[in-house]
Structure 1
Amino acid sequence: MQIRVQNNDLKIDFQLNESPAAKTLIEQLPLTLDVDNFGDNEKIFYPDKKLNVTDTKLADPQKGDLCYYSPWGDVVMYYKATSPAGGLYSLGKVINGKENIQKLKGSLTITKLD
């Protein structure tokens, strides 16, 4: 399962894992949402529906990781590594465009890649 996050001419492709949370995200696509800065290491967006984290592994976030923070219901794209946090689940890893994560701003289009 792969998704593309696009913001104007910036593209970032992620390989999702097979977790219930990743499957719940991909079922909601396509989405057009706003991206927000959070701290100095991540960009976040809020999918329309909460993700199912049953049997989903907790994350040890590294640069390029895609995660889900269940307490707030946001998807996190890391452009710097950080410490693990309770309620942070792994969704996948970047496969193309890692350098673009930090540049994202405004509206995102998130689609499934074939």
Structure 2
Amino acid sequence: MKSLTKKLISIISLVILSISLNANDLKKDKLMKISVESNGNITVYELNNSQASKELLAQLPLDIKVENYSHDEKIFYPPNKLSTSNTPLAKNAVTGTLAYYAPWGDVVMFYKDFGSASGLYELGKVVSGKEYINSMSGTIEIKLID
């Protein structure tokens, strides 16, 4: 009986370990980062796990024109519009927020605090290089970071 109990405990321990390892792998899979290169400078964003973020990733890599808009953001238009289902609204966009403005179909990179707007969805946040957003110009290169 003791032998059977030890075997069962060993099996259960292996199952728990396997589940734990798989959960860690899933967390790693959800971490999505992109780099945006402009004028020799690189800005890195960590994307959320939303539908819009996944659809943006599916369009990478991109060499695309970046434009100034207003006094606080740079924008670009991905080739295909993004679905906003299961994508959180950007309720308080701040410096470094990456967002999608659904009414116009443009991706927004904020270099100053903004706040919120109807139709503005959060895609992620900057993790490095936010000081370069303001100086982005011309054609930018956007790619997935492995």
Is the pair's TM-score, using the shorter chain for normalization, greater than 0.5?
yes
Matched, 1:34 2:34: no
Q: How does 1:39-50 map to 2 (within 5 A)?
A: 39-50=70-81
Cα deviation, residue 8, structure 1: 2.6
Matched, 1:109 2:141: yes
CA distance in 1, matches of 2:120, 2:71: 17
CA distance in 2, matches of 1:40, 1:6: 21
Q: Which has the higher contact order (CA 8 A, sep 6+)?
A: 1
Matched, 1:99 2:131: yes
CA distance in 2, matches of 1:36, 1:27: 22
Return the structure number with greater strand share. Answer: 1
CA distance in 2, matches of 1:11, 1:93: 14
Unmatched tracts of structure 1, length 5 or more: none
Q: TM-score, normalised by structure 2?
A: 0.77
Cα deviation, residue 83, structure 1: 2.5
Q: How does 1:1-114 map to 2 (within 5 A)?
A: 1-59=32-90, 60-114=92-146
CA distance in 2, matches of 1:13, 1:65: 11
Return the structure number with greater helix share. Answer: 2
Q: TM-score, normalised by structure 1?
A: 0.98
Unmatched tracts of structure 2, length 5 or more: 1-31
Cα deviation, residue 91, structure 1: 0.2
Q: How many pairs does the alignment contain?
A: 114
CA distance in 2, matches of 1:63, 1:7: 18
CA distance in 2, matches of 1:70, 1:22: 13
CA distance in 1, matches of 2:39, 2:59: 21
Q: Hey, which bits of structure 1, 4+ residues long, moved more than 4 A? A: none
Q: Answer with 1 or 2: which has the greater Rg.
A: 2
Residue type at the aligned position of 2:69:
F
